[in-house]
Amino acid sequence: MNKHLLMTGILFCLSFPAFAGGILTNTNQSIHFLRNPARDASIEIDAAYTNPAGLAFLPGEGFFFSINNQSAFQKRTITSTFAPFAGFGGEATKTYEGTASVPIIPSVQAAYKTGDWVLSGNIAITGGGGKATFNTGLPSFEAPISLIPSGINQLGQALGALMPGATLAANQYSVDAYMEGSSIIYGAQLGGTYSITDQFSAYGGFRMNFVQNSYVGHLHAIEANPLSNVSSLGTGVMIPVSGYFAGLTQLPGLPDAYKNQLLGLAASTADKNLDCDQSGWGITPIIGVDFKSGKLNIGAKYEFNTHLNVENKTKVDDTGLFKGGVETPHDIPSLLTLGAQYDVIDPVTVSVGYHHFFDSAAKMANDKQKYINGGTNEYLAGVEWRINRLFLVSAGGQITRTGVTDDYQTDLSFALHSSTICIGGAVNVTENIRINIGYLYSFYQDWKRNSSYIVSPDVQLPVTDVFGKTNKTFGVGVDFRF
């Protein structure tokens, strides 16, 4: 029985993005995206994020603003099959759910256009944005604890050799497990656009990224039901195992090697608590170009890789895994976006887009980027119909294909292929004020992973995990100019 039973099971590194986009990046920064995600050739105010070079083609001069709020709701589900789980509830297959509800996710885009120049900015949650709560923990928490009954059975065999005729066995365990994690990247972008010709413009700028992660969790009340024909060794009722293992060290004639092993088990099965924050910052250089000819507009943007580390600010860490002051890689991968939009007829515009996140070149904790084949690809399309002077409706979709492999996926952090639909509209309240409304829903493909849990060099037990997720976002915003 592994005396580091719990240390190997607690790895609080949860990633829980509440938006569309790559593994760490949110791409829906305004309600324009929620009603039509193909915004990579936009020449409206949302282009301050999606296509900043396109701001050169804003109508007229002066100040342009977009103020938005989104409400996101997400659920993650991990269904895990592991034979020892039957010791707690009788079933080898268990389902663990994590939920996130974020009712207020604000963002602001702004631009000032004068002559051939546009100064623009964007303030938003550019990564993460959700808090995940797993009220029953995660499979990786419970798996090592589920081995306690078999460990007690092994102890029974050893004690039988020391105390002829004595028996000791167990077949049940229980635990109170809890995990809450949040990960947010705040972004503040600033840059300038210049009209090189009447048809061509270029952009240069940067984004300041501030990361704030928080992890709170516990493993409490770890119990089992040791049963022995020697009453002092267990009566078959559920009891705290930490005190039980410590008490066994008092058995007369017990060799020191056994005592040391039992003391290690007592320590590893004691209550564990974690309360740790992580923070860090980094700068993302951004460049872009735009070409407009008649009814056609084409935009491109490249965000460079953001080198970023997060530092542990630990309040409580009984796991020994989050030593205060230690830094962990948390790079934001570089991103290439390409887009085009075309006015098919006067009131109807169609648009397409493509995103590539260079995930495998961004350093991650435990070098997880090594388990990504290239990166994430996204394909987007949308249509907008301006019904009349007051109203417009729009819709679109996005297909996301990640480059992750089985080795990347864990119950703490996983990425899934998805398809997203978006729908919404806008109302021109006045010539200079417009209200936008949109809704996004993402369908995720379940990911099934078969692996092995290494109990000892000679013993491996099969594990099957199925990862699933749902996501829906609703938002309202207002554009205005003066």
Q: How many CA atoms lie within 13 A of 95 on its CB side?
A: 6
Higher pLDDT, 299 or 230: 299
Higher pLDDT, 285 or 7: 285
Going by C-beta distance under 8 Å and a sequence separation of 6 or more, which residues neighbour residue 62? 112, 113, 481, 482
pLDDT of amino acid 129: 62
Q: In a 10 Å sphere around its CB, with 0-12 CB exposed, 13-18 middle and 19+ buried, how is residue 89 labelled?
A: exposed
Q: Which domains does the chain have, with CATH numbers?
A: 31-481 (2.40.160.60)
- State yes or no: pLDDT of 3 exceeds 60: no
Going by C-beta distance under 8 Å and a sequence separation of 6 or more, which residues neighbour residue 63? 110, 111, 112, 481, 482
pLDDT of amino acid 162: 81
Task: Using pLDDT thresholds of 50, 70 and 90, give the confidence band for residue 254.
Answer: confident
pLDDT of amino acid 320: 81
DSSP state of 332: B
pLDDT of amino acid 26: 86
Which two tokens mark 254?
A: 């017990």
The pLDDT mean for the chain works out to 92
Helix (H, G, I), strand (E, B), or coil: what is residue 296? strand
Q: In the 3-class helix/strand/coil scheme, how is 48-98 assigned residue by residue?
A: HHHCHHHHHHCCCCEEEEEEEEEEEEEEEEEEEECHHHHHCCCCCEEEEEE
- State yes or no: pLDDT of 347 exceeds 50: yes
Higher pLDDT, 13 or 181: 181
Mean pLDDT of 69-78: 93
Task: Using pLDDT thresholds of 50, 70 and 90, give the confidence band for residue 411.
Answer: confident
Helix, strand, coil shares, percent, the chain, to 5: 15, 55, 30
pLDDT of amino acid 11: 35
Mean pLDDT of 115-127: 96
Diameter over CA atoms, the chain: 95
- State yes or no: pLDDT of 361 exceeds 90: yes
| Look-up of token digits 């980094």 | 282
Mean pLDDT of 65-89: 95
pLDDT above 90 coverage of the chain, percent: 78
Q: In the 3-class helix/strand/coil scheme, how is 433-455 assigned residue by residue?
A: EEEEEEEEEEEECCEEEEEEEEE
Cα angle 299-401-181, degrees, rounded to a multiple of 5:
100
- State yes or no: pLDDT of 2 exceeds 70: no
pLDDT of amino acid 24: 77
Mean pLDDT of 341-367: 95
Task: Using pLDDT thresholds of 50, 70 and 90, give the confidence band for residue 67.
Answer: very high
Stated pTM of the model = 0.90
